[in-house]
């Protein structure tokens, strides 16, 4: 009974380490991947590919969280929001975390084997490098959130290759849109920890932008939606697609009301709320293609 109880406690710790109890990171990683799967297939994705990418997103996000906490193990104890994370408290050892990271990466790699494509394998190696190196970018780059946007959006070119075996120019524009979106929501996230990050010497966009942080967030939202609208024009999307963008824009304006006073709790609420921006864009894409493919337009 004691062994079972200890195992359950250990699994709970691993769940917290992988942030499975806080799925917002998975969703922010999943939405742009789903955008790409639907856009690349004109609304008719291979459902096996969708499932593979969804599961892969969960695994790679979990691996990213593990390596992030491993890299930040000397910083997290000094930040109020992160001091209770399993590695920071010593409940999970660095060796355990590294083994868990390798297991998650191996499982992710096994998922792409059915594609039998060296193109996919090559992109997956780049994606792994981005995920593993992102935590260290906070030591060197003034705006590591841009690096995060590339890492979080690399499912976009992979989705295009999985669906059509090539990466058209529009995929790279969609990746750029995701970079701006990540800069917006992760700056909101960084505004929560700004005081602690200044003390420990971590670089973030919230610190780099300074008093222009709110304006920078709103600029990034604008750039995101403008780029996606331009992509929609290239693909001859209909009014439902733009209605989805309109809803996303309204949500972004709401975020302005949350972050303008720079209250940490409200900034964190805005960060979490970005799930609805991703969902609104995706809903517009899906419904627009449903109308088109059914011949109703």
- Per residue in 6-60, pLDDT (tens digit) is 778 888 888 988 998 888 999 999 999 999 999 999 999 999 999 999 999 999 9
Q: How much is the CA Rg of the chain, to the nearest whole Å?
A: 19
Mean pLDDT of 279-295: 91
* Per-residue confidence (pLDDT) for residue 295, from 0 to 100: 59
- pLDDT confidence of 87, banded at 50, 70, 90? confident
Mean pLDDT of 116-140: 86
Statement: residue 5 has pLDDT above 80: no
Tokens of 196: 């602690």
* Per-residue confidence (pLDDT) for residue 272, from 0 to 100: 95
C-alpha 100/C-alpha 56 separation (Å) is: 15
pLDDT tens digits for 46-56?
Answer: 999 999 999 99
Please tell me the total count of domains within the chain.
1
Closest to 231 measured CA to CA, from 245, 217, 219: 245
219 versus 200: the higher-pLDDT residue is: 219
Tokens of 253: 């304006």
Mean pLDDT of 189-200: 84
* Per-residue confidence (pLDDT) for residue 296, from 0 to 100: 58
> Which domain range does residue 35 map to?
2-293
Statement: residue 227 has pLDDT above 80: yes
pTM above 0.85, yes or no: yes
Give the CATH number for residue 242: 1.10.357.140
Helix axes 239-259, 169-192, angle to 10 degrees: 20
Q: Mean pLDDT across the chain, nearest whole number?
A: 90
C-alpha 40/C-alpha 35 separation (Å) is: 8
C-alpha 43/C-alpha 185 separation (Å) is: 27
* Per-residue confidence (pLDDT) for residue 3, from 0 to 100: 64
* Per-residue confidence (pLDDT) for residue 131, from 0 to 100: 87
- The residues, any chain, with a CB within 8 Å of residue 281's CB and separated by 6 or more, are 31, 35, 228, 244, 245, 248
- pLDDT confidence of 201, banded at 50, 70, 90? confident
């Amino acid at each position: 009974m004691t062994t079972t109880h200890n195992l359950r406690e250990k699994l709970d710790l691993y769940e917290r380490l992988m942030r499975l109890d806080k799925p917002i990171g998975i969703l922010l990683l999943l939405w742009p991947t789903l955008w790409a799967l639907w856009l690349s297939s004109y609304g008719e994705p291979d459902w096996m590919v969708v499932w593979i990418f969804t599961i892969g997103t969960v695994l790679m996000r979990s691996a990213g969280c593990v390596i992030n906490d491993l890299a930040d193990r000397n910083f997290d104890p000094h930040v109020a929001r992160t001091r209770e994370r399993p590695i920071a408290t010593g409940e999970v050892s660095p060796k355990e975390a590294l083994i868990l990271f390798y297991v998650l990466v191996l499982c992710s790699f096994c998922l792409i084997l059915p594609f039998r494509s060296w193109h996919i394998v090559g992109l997956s190696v780049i994606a792994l490098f981005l995920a593993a190196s992102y935590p260290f970018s906070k030591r060197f780059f003034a705006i590591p959130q841009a690096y995060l946007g590339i890492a979080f959006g690399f499912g976009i070119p992979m989705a295009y290759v999985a669906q059509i075996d090539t990466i058209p120019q529009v995929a790279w524009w969609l990746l750029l849109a995701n970079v701006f979106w990540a800069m917006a929501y992760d700056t909101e996230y960084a505004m929560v920890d700004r005081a602690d990050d200044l003390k420990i010497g971590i670089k973030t966009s919230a610190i780099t932008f300074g008093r222009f942080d709110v304006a920078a967030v709103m600029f990034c939202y604008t750039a995101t939606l403008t780029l996606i609208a331009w992509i929609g024009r290239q693909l001859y999307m209909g009014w439902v697609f733009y209605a989805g963008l309109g809803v996303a824009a309204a949500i972004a304006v709401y975020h302005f009301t949350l972050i303008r006073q720079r209250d940490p709790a409200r900034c964190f609420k805005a960060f979490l709320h970005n799930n609805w921006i991703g969902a609104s864009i995706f809903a517009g894409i899906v419904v627009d293609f449903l109308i088109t493919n059914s011949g109703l337009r």
